[in-house]
Each structure stands twice: as C-alpha cells, then as structure tokens.
C-alpha cells in the first residue's frame, strides 16, 4: 500500500485488477521497461496475475499452473524479441509499446540494444542477467 496516491492506486493488486479490466495494464509498468514488453507477453502475464488474485482460494491456480503461465509469457517475449524490424502500429491495442529494439543474442536479457527518441542505448552481457540464471528456479524446480 502506498499512501498519498489516488484511491484506486493505493493497492498495487487492486490497481492492477482495475487496469486489467479497463485494458490499460501498461499504466502500472515501469516506464524504463514499458517500451520493450511485447503486447502478447503483457496480456499473458496479466492473465496469470489476475487468476492469482481471485478472492476464492479454490479459483486460484496451482503453483505449477502459475509457473507454466509465466514460462509461456517468457516464450512470447523471446519470440517477439527475435522479430526484427517489426513496429507496433498506432492502431494496435498497446500503442505504448515500441518494437524497434533488436538483438543478435538469443537471450532476452543480454546484448540488447534499443533506440528511442533518437537516443541509442546498449546493454552489455552480464552473466547475472541471463535468462537461465534469472529463471534457474523454474528450470530446476526443487524445494528450498
């Protein structure tokens, strides 16, 4: 809970549910990463999150369903990242997402470059941010 924000934004969970219903989930995405999230990935992630926030415990997904849904969202993002030169048109559902970023690396977290408003930024490869490192818990599901 964040005090001092408008009533609908005080609880991230409630704000997320409201944005999901209105089709404006992008409003709660960090502006620094908003432009690189594929619309289909965001939709899948939102679907998983909404199911996890159901009031009735019996309506919430099991952990393996959550993991599957998040892995699917990652696959959607990786597939979108491999698409070279494709741009989101003004008429699409998520006009805030720009698809101009390209990478020659198969890993979504390394070696990527982005151009926005004429400014280019390049992130260097870092072992700590490789998807196999970040998602090691998913790849090797073992109890803690």
CB half-sphere exposure, 44, CA atoms < 13 A:
18
Q: Specify the higher pLDDT residue, 110 or 59.
A: 59
pLDDT computed for residue 112 by the predictor = 46
Most confident region among 35-44, 87-96, 129-138 by mean pLDDT = 35-44
Give residue 20's region: left, alpha or beta (phi > 0; psi -120 to 50): alpha
Kindly list the domain boundaries of the chain, sorted by start residue. Answer: 7-139
Q: What is the pLDDT of residues 43-54, one digit of tens each?
A: 999 999 999 999
Residue 89 has pLDDT above 60, yes or no: no
Strands 112-116, 102-103: pairing is antiparallel
Specify the pLDDT at position 105: 45
Note whether 107 and 130 are within 8 A (CB).
yes
Confidence band for 131, pLDDT divided at 50, 70 and 90:
very low
Nearest to 48 by CA among 33, 24, 65: 65
pLDDT at 66: 96
* 127, pLDDT greater than 80: no
């Amino acid at each position: 809970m964040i005090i001092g924000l408008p009533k609908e934004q005080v609880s991230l969970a409630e704000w997320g549910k409201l944005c999901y219903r209105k089709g404006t989930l992008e409003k709660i995405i960090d502006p620094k990463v908003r432009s690189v999230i594929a619309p289909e990935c965001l939709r899948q992630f939102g679907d998983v999150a909404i199911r996890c926030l159901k009031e009735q415990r019996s309506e919430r997904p099991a952990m393996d369903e959550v993991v599957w849904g998040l892995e699917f969202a990652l696959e959607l993002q990786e597939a979108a990242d491999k698409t070279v030169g494709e741009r989101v048109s003004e008429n699409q559902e998520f006009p805030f997402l720009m698809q101009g970023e390209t990478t020659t690396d198969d890993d979504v977290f390394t070696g990527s470059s982005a151009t926005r408003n004429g400014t280019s930024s390049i992130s260097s490869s870092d072992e700590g941010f490789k998807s196999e490192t970040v998602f090691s818990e998913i790849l090797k599901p073992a109890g803690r």
